[in-house]
Amino acid sequence: MKRLFIPVPGTNARGALHILKKTVILLLLLCMLLFGVGAAHALLGIRQHNILLEQRNYELPWSLMQLKLEMIRFLDGVRLLHAGGMEHDELMLRYDILWSRTPVLLSNQLRDTLTDRPDLWLLIQQIENRVRAMEPMVQAMTPGSPDYQRLLAELSPYVEPLTRTMTATMHSNVLFYAEYDQAYRKLGRELYISTAGLGVCVLLLLIMLGAELLGYRRRLLRDPLTMLPNRFALQHRLNHLITRHQPFSLTLLELEDFARIRQQFGFEVADRLKQALADRLEKYLQPGEQMAALDREGLVILTEGMVELAEVRNQLSRIRQVLITAESVNGHDFYPAPVIGVVLYPSDANNMVDLLARGELALELCRRDQLPYVIFDPSMLKEMERRQQLARDLPAALESDSLGLRFYPLVTPAGHCAGLRLSLQWRHPRFGEIGESELVRVTEQYQLSERLLLWALSRIGELIPDWRMAAPGVFVSLPLPPSVFRPSLRERLLSTLSRHGLEGDALVLEITESMVMQAAQQAQPMLDDLCALNVRMLLAEFGSGCSQWGQLTQLPLHWLQLDASWCSGIEHSEAARERLATLFELARLLGVPVICSGVTSAAESSIVSALGSEVLLQGPFISPSLATMEVREWLENSGPARLSDFDVSRDA
């Protein structure tokens, strides 16, 4: 019943149709209540009349009539015995029958009926007393005896009142039965009307319930936001096509940065944007194409009979052309950039589960590599199998310390080493050299980032005390995976530092602007907790355009690291030098020194040094990457750095 009060998705809950439906249902329920009360009243009346009918039974009139008849037969027997026409034994038999009639009337069975009529009760008692008192005379009576007149005189006066009483009782019963029939017919009509009305209301309510259930079944196969067929309807259609072995293509489509739009503009704007784009795409569908909603963010276009890549590319070009124009929602103009993945049946997979999984894999690769679209290829499965195998082998590699550590020195313009930036490498026995970027992707995808970080921290904790003997104050900088950037990080770092007897300044954690923005509410307290341990923070990818400057000024940062691309070409291009100088000026406004990566020549080093004396340099010109065994020797030869040379306070 509750289902009937739920409005149709996509409609106003206070709309006229929904209000009318609620009103009709309430009226039907009220009518059912009234008809139910009426039926209950009729049944109660019938029950009360039945009780009265049981009280007005035929036993009393019948017993009175039998008493009268036996009394007349006895009086006739007295006359016949007097005339010599009857034996004395037969008279005694009639007397015994008469004597047995009064106890029946005075029994408990009829006592309740007679108590309502005291005159009848008194009459019967008098008759009983007379009958019992004349027993000696009846026994002593002989033919021709004058006692018969006395017997007649004792009983004859009671015949007439008994006759009247019996007649009145029967007449009263007849009148009662007549009234009872009329009342019963009235109650029967009332019960019939109430039952019929109740049945009609129940029937109407069942019809509405059936219609609502049918509508609910239709809505169950529709996305409530776009009213497109949902994933269940899509799976049903795919099963039908696969059963018929009919070729088709699936084009999975999502909007780039849709999560950011929802976060910045709210769910209402994001939902309206998706509705508008779905309506726009649906208008341009061609025969054989069907669109469905895959999930909250994604759409899918099913095209029957499409197996040629040229046809697929033409379709993708048409889809991108449809979405290229701006869409205005609540006064905001959006330029949607689609992320598209395509999978074909039967060439890519022969069952629905694999089709959807491989389509989502193509979609993910399109998003990761920022391509216009990705058409699934079997080589992608090899890449996925490669990552899965790497994820399975990584725990054993950590247990056996099979990963390699490489360190990139960070030096001041004066040539003093301030720290070392950690880079992890892994030589896999099957896949060869695994770079740091791929290792990070695998650990993030398969929830191994925290385990890898703890392993790296443990190794650093073993190495850095020896290095600080050669270069006091040197630190190790290592990237912080996004999945590990959570409140429990403080306890992990505190345990590692305590286990190796290190201070917090031995570590510098690299965070990215995207990490800070995604955890905007938690970033400030987490960074404050880390600073309480004296662990310093380095903001990588500075200048990528993801940060809000107001928030950056509140974060406890110690360095801003520029990507290597900012140093590229600065010795030849004035524009490149101006861009780099602008970033340095922004860093000065934030009060945070800069780390410049990718310094490849002396010219680049001198230009960067001229922009800021507090800068740290890293790159092939400074030093190649160092193995663990090479760090101590390099530190001893390069000489320790003084942190005061480049440390800039927050109030600078």
Residue-wise pLDDT for 302-351, tens only, equals: 888 877 888 888 888 888 888 878 888 887 888 778 888 898 888 888 88
* Contact (CB, 8 A) for 247 and 307: yes
Q: Kindly give, in sequence order, each residue whose CB lies less than 8 Å from that of residue 621, ignoring residues fewer than 6 positions away.
A: 599, 600, 601, 602, 604, 605
The whole-angstrom separation of Cα 245 and Cα 94 is 104
**DSSP state for residue 329 in the 8-state scheme:** E
If you write DSSP's letter for every residue of 228-282 in order, what string do you get? SB-HHHHHHHHHHHHHTT--EEEEEEEETTHHHHHHHH-HHHHHHHHHHHHHHHH
Left (φ > 0), alpha (ψ -120 to 50) or beta: where does 376 sit? beta
108 pLDDT above the threshold of 70: no
- The alpha carbon dihedral of 514, 520, 522, 526 has a sign of positive
User: With DSSP H G I counted as helix, E B as strand and the rest as coil, what are the percentages for the chain, rounded to 5?
Assistant: 60, 15, 25
The whole-angstrom separation of Cα 609 and Cα 255 is 43
1, 199, 363 from 204: Cα distances, Å: 13, 9, 50
Model confidence, pTM: 0.56
Give percent of the chain with pLDDT exceeding 70.
88
Q: Which of 102-106, 460-464, 569-573 has the lowest mean pLDDT?
A: 102-106
633 pLDDT above the threshold of 70: yes
258 pLDDT above the threshold of 80: no
Neighbours of 55 (CB within 10 A): 11
CA angle 267, 269, 274 (to 5 degrees): 90
Report pLDDT digits (tens) over 33-64.
888 888 888 888 878 777 766 655 556 677 77
**DSSP state for residue 508 in the 8-state scheme:** E
Q: Where are the domains of the chain?
A: 1-220, 231-376, 394-643
Report pLDDT digits (tens) over 550-588.
566 677 888 888 888 888 888 888 888 888 888 888 888
Partners of 199 in the β-ladder: none
Neighbours of 65 (CB within 10 A): 17
The whole-angstrom separation of Cα 250 and Cα 343 is 5
State the average pLDDT over residues 356-372. 83
Rg for the chain, CA atoms, rounded: 52
Q: How confident is the model at residue 476 (pLDDT cuts 50, 70, 90)?
A: very high
Q: How confident is the model at residue 84 (pLDDT cuts 50, 70, 90)?
A: confident
* Contact (CB, 8 A) for 44 and 37: no
The whole-angstrom separation of Cα 372 and Cα 278 is 19
* Contact (CB, 8 A) for 530 and 537: yes
Report pLDDT digits (tens) over 133-164.
888 888 888 887 777 787 788 778 877 887 88
CATH number for the domain whose boundaries are 231-376? 3.30.70.270
Provide the token pair at 193: 């009307």
**DSSP state for residue 611 in the 8-state scheme:** H
The whole-angstrom separation of Cα 358 and Cα 375 is 10
What pLDDT was estimated at residue 159? Answer: 79
The whole-angstrom separation of Cα 533 and Cα 604 is 36
Superfamily of structural domain 394-643: EAL domain (3.20.20.450)
638 pLDDT above the threshold of 70: no
What pLDDT was estimated at residue 56? Answer: 56
For 143, how many CA atoms within 13 A lie in the half-sphere containing its CB? 10
4 pLDDT above the threshold of 70: no
Left (φ > 0), alpha (ψ -120 to 50) or beta: where does 370 sit? left
649 pLDDT above the threshold of 50: no
The mean pLDDT of the chain is 80
State the average pLDDT over residues 357-376. 84
Q: Among candidates 490, 491, 559, 554, which has minimal Cα distance to 526? A: 490
216 pLDDT above the threshold of 90: no
- The alpha carbon dihedral of 186, 191, 194, 195 has a sign of negative
Q: Which of 176-180, 323-327, 503-507 has the lowest mean pLDDT?
A: 176-180
8, 551, 592 from 554: Cα distances, Å: 47, 5, 12
Report pLDDT digits (tens) over 384-434.
788 888 889 999 888 888 888 999 999 988 888 889 999 998 988 888 888
Q: Which of 233-237, 301-305, 510-514 has the lowest mean pLDDT?
A: 510-514
* Contact (CB, 8 A) for 592 and 557: yes
What pLDDT was estimated at residue 420? Answer: 92
What pLDDT was estimated at residue 642? Answer: 36
